[in-house]
Amino acid sequence: MKEIDDNLGWLLAKLDSLVVFMSDHGEMRFGMGSKMVFYEESVRVPLMMRLPGRIGARSCPLVEGRKSSIPDYRVSEWAGANVPNFMVRTGEWKLMMAKDTASRATDALLDLKSDPSETHNLLWKPGDRRKHAAPGKEMKDRLLEWLARAGSPLETSGRQRRVG
């Protein structure tokens, strides 16, 4: 590893251009499926950018903890039948939801703080579903806001699908 670090450092010192590093996320652990699911191990991929004098921590309000116009959530989308098609995630919550009412997919609401392994779907049991109705609605509202801002043709069908 040291040799790679040293050589990469030498190369970056010589370049005055944009360098973008991205990587695949690998395969899933714990039998939760493949890369084509919305669990953390699939949706989190590294992205680093370097452009000397132009891109850095000082130019990013989120890195500095300043307010930003960037929403407090992230959205992923997956095409397919009878699978969750959307994921909306904040620091604490994640909602995985199908795109329309016809889908037989199981929607999921996950509390990432108390269940970082994502093993307890809070929409499965009626008691849990009632108890967590507010965060489920908030997450769906974030998704609908994103779909509207993106001009997605799926906004209407997403609005019609009941969470849970």
CATH number of the domain encompassing residue 129 = 3.30.1120.10
Statement: residue 152 has pLDDT above 70: yes
Statement to judge: residues 44 and 91 lie in one domain: no
- What pLDDT is stored for residue 50 in this prediction? 82
Asked if the model's pLDDT at residue 40 lies above 80, the reply is: no
Is the pLDDT reported for residue 25 higher than 90? no
Q: Sort residue 19 into left (φ over 0), alpha (ψ -120 to 50) or beta.
A: beta
Give the pLDDT of residue 160.
92
- Whether 43 and 80 map to the same domain: the answer is no
The answer to whether 38 touches 106, Cβ cutoff 8 Å, is: no
Average pLDDT over residues 102-110: 91
- Note whether 86 and 154 are same-domain residues: yes
Q: Among residues 14, 45, 62, which one ends one of the domains?
A: 62
pLDDT of residue 63: 60
Burial of 64 (0-12, 13-18, 19+ CB in 10 A): exposed
Domain range for 38: 2-62
